[in-house]
Amino acid sequence: MRGGRTGHGPFWGAVRILVGVLVVVWSLAPIYWATVIAFATPADIRRSPAALLPQGFSPGNFGRLLAPGSATADVFVSALGSSVVQALGTTVLTLAVALPAAYAFARLRFAGSRALLVVITVTLAVPVYLVLIPLFQLATATGQINTQQGVVLVLTSAALPLAIWILRSHIVTLPEDLESAARLDGAGTFRVLRSVVGPLVAPGLVAAAVVTFLASWGAFLVPLVYANTTGTEPLTVLIPTFASKFSSDYGLQSAAGLIAVLPPVVLVVLLQKHLLSGLLKGATR
Amino acid sequence: MQPGATTSAIPVTGGPVQDRSRPAHSRSRRRVNRLGLALVAPAFAVIAVLVLYPSISSIVGSFQRYELTDPNRSFSGFRNYVEVLTDPAFLQSLANTAGYFVVITLAVLLMGLATALWLQSLRGVWRAVALTVVVLPWAVPGTVAGVLWSFILNPTGAGLLNSVLKSLNLISGYQAWLNMPLAGIVVIGLTVAWSAAPLGVVVLLAGLEGIPREIYEQSLVDGAGRAKQFVSITLPLLRPALAIVLLNGAVLSIGLFDQVYVLVGLDPQKITVAGSMYLYAFRDFNFGFGFAASVIATAITAAISLVYLGLVYREEEY
């Protein structure tokens, strides 16, 4: 029970409810409205003034978007595939590279560890536009333009510093005794990493994985420059082109938008608890 | 050990001196060094090649002539900077960025604080559900958020905002919100705040939870009301969290690109400094100007960061 509880008068109670209603409406309105449009008929979408509540349930927009042979089906499915490959690829590669580094920074006092950690922390502050042109030149010179692995590498470099930071903050909070016990039993460092540190650091791994996935699934400037042709362009690059190509077809655009939003939203809803506890633990260290 | 060999180029300090003075420890010490460097090597390699090298390359390139159509790559001093800083289009994007910064920061700060305080007053399942709702916009990619908001801001009566305001008789005719010069920046800034608020709420909520409860209880004994508690306890103790939110607002508005791109395209009246950089580099193919613009944007971000960090760490006591 908090001390503040006793301070609740009817005034603060009303303020609390009002703020709550505003927060919920504000957070959900864009998603709600796109859902209404996505499942509406063309006539209902054009209605002016618009009806605030859904007038029916029609999957027609999704049909037009995904029906085999339609103008959009092939490019959309291809972009969905690219989004999945790039976001999952970046997440897996980032965690695979970040976890050993984070462990070393948290547990081993090796020569140069401090300087390296400072360098990696400083790169947290390097904005993507500063590295955009040189990476474009590098990718052109090495033939990595319009390849999935090219995008994955750039997105990984952008996600790494934060992932290392989150994981390191976690490992620091874990009891060291367990590791020394495993080591006394004859386990090597990689064995210790896999079977002792791994399970304990799971909440941190989940947080780092979700943050990396959200960032790479939502990335725009990087794929816009390095992967902007059919076959490699992800949903974030494709969907804005719908706005000009099918400018008044809000049904099609909202159906595409909803599909693009679904994977990250499901992830956040399912993993919200781990995500937040993982992030907050990292924030306080 | 192969990985150790690839990292030997990294400057190491102190190691060998200690080894000589304490031979008993030297072998384990060297093993720890080698293991540490081996574990860090892959991450450092990625960051060195894909972040450090291109950052330095941008800074060097900003002092060179560099146009794709012209093979001349000679050193040109501050010419790129002078050209960019006297380009009306760049100055306009700088002003737009300042506008976004004010709107985004204020909105995230006020909404974030109100939301975090509201969340803190909830318990159990309600809190978990409310937190999920609040965090949800974070999951929406910037370009898709732009598309979602374009349906709400639609200039005809089919748009949610026009439709609601008209039925409440708050506007006489349907408004093209995004085409207005100043109001457009405010509206776009608010849609960006929609995406950015969740992170602000999480940081502020963590800050609120970190304030010792005894301080509130003591002030209650001293007869302080809710409003007084907020001003004299909550706000001062929340300063580090508030600084993070401010900092994030600055970084976000300077680098803002996707939502603006979707809502209004590369409209010179709406793009940010990052948008200018994109136009120099990938429309005009003048990489020299692009480098200069990106270095200027980064320098502004760095300067703002240092000021905020200075404010936070100047004094921090209960």
CB-CB under 8 Å, A214 with B138: yes
Same domain, A95 and A149: yes
Same domain, A38 and A156: no
CA distances to A27, B114, B129, B227, B238 from B231, rounded to whole Å, are 27, 14, 29, 6, 11
Please say which residue of A29, A58, A87 terminates a domain.
A58
Same domain, A20 and A121: no
Same domain, A191 and A151: yes
Residue A237 located in a structural domain: yes
One DSSP character per residue, chain B reads -HHHHHHTTS---SHHHHHHH-HHHHHHHHHHHHHHHHHHHHHHHHHIIIIIHHHHHHHHHTTB--BTTB----B-TTHHHHHHHT-HHHHHHHHHHHHHHHHHHHHHHHHHHHHHHHHHT--HHHHHHHHHHHHGGGGS-HHHHHHHHHHHS-SSTTSHHHHHHHHTTS-SS---GGGSHHHHHHHHHHHHHHHHHHHHHHHHHHHHHTS-HHHHHHHHHTT--HHHHIIIIIHHHTHHHHHHHHHHHHHHHHH--HHHHHHH-S-TTT--HHHHHHHHHHTS-BHHHHHHHHHHHHHHHHHHHHHHHHHHHH----
Residue A63 located in a structural domain: no
Amino acid at site B203: V
pLDDT tens digits for range B240-257 = 888 888 888 888 888 899
Q: Which of B23, B48, B1, B18 is nearest to A110 (CA)?
A: B18
Residue A47: list chain B partners with CB under 8 A: 157-158
Mutate one of A21, A41, A133 to test the B interface: name it (highest B CB count within 10 A).
Answer: A133
Same domain, A184 and A49: no
Same domain, A22 and A86: no
Same domain, A79 and A110: yes
A46, A115, A133 ranked by CB distance to B58: nearest:
A133
Same domain, A36 and A171: no
CB-CB under 8 Å, B55 with A129: no
Question: Which residues are registered as beta bridge partners of B70?
Answer: B67
Please say which residue of A31, A58, A85 terminates a domain.
A58
List CB contacts of A146: < 8 A, sequence separation 6 or more.
Answer: A226, A227, A228, A229, A231, A232
Residue A189 located in a structural domain: yes
A4, A220, A272 ranked by CB distance to B142: nearest:
A220
CB-CB under 8 Å, B202 with A101: no
A98, A189, A220 ranked by CB distance to B257: nearest:
A220
pLDDT tens digits for range A5-63 = 445 678 888 888 999 999 999 999 999 999 999 998 888 887 777 778 888 788 888 98
Residue A65 located in a structural domain: no
CB-CB under 8 Å, B11 with A268: no
B12, B144, B298 ranked by CB distance to A112: nearest:
B12
Question: Which residues are registered as beta bridge partners of B67?
Answer: B70, B286
CATH of the domain at A114: 1.10.3720.10
Query: ipTM strictly over 0.85?
Result: yes
Same domain, A50 and A75: no
Q: Which of A190, A245, A268 is nearest to A75 (CA)?
A: A245
Long-range contacts of B69-76 (CB under 8 A, 24+ apart): B69/B285, B76/B288
Chains A and B form CB pairs within 8 A to the count of 308
Q: CA-nearest residue of chain B to A269?
A: B132
CB-CB under 8 Å, B15 with A111: yes
* pLDDT per residue as tens, chain B (318 positions): 333 333 333 333 433 444 444 555 677 888 888 889 999 999 999 999 999 999 999 999 999 988 877 777 888 889 999 999 999 999 999 999 999 999 999 999 999 999 999 998 888 888 889 999 999 999 999 999 999 999 999 888 788 888 888 888 888 888 888 888 888 999 999 999 999 999 899 889 888 888 888 888 888 777 777 788 888 888 888 888 888 888 888 888 888 999 999 999 888 999 999 999 999 999 999 999 999 999 999 999 889 888 877 777 665 443
Residue A43 located in a structural domain: yes
Residue A158: list chain B partners with CB under 8 A: 51
SS3 content of chain A, % helix, strand, coil (to 5): 75, 0, 25
Residue A217 located in a structural domain: yes
CB atoms within 10 A of CB B302: 14
The answer to whether residues B117 and A15 touch, using CB atoms and an 8 Å cutoff, is no
Residue A82 located in a structural domain: yes
Amino acid at site B314: R
Same domain, A160 and A194: yes
- Rounded to two decimals, the pTM is 0.87
Task: Show the domain range for A19.
Answer: 2-58
Q: CA-nearest residue of chain B to A266?
A: B139
Same domain, A116 and A227: yes
List CB contacts of B119: < 8 A, sequence separation 6 or more.
Answer: B127, B130, B131, B134, B201, B205
pLDDT tens digits for range B227-241 = 888 888 888 888 888
Same domain, A36 and A150: no
Number of domain units in chain A: 2
Residue A170 located in a structural domain: yes
CB-CB under 8 Å, B142 with A28: no
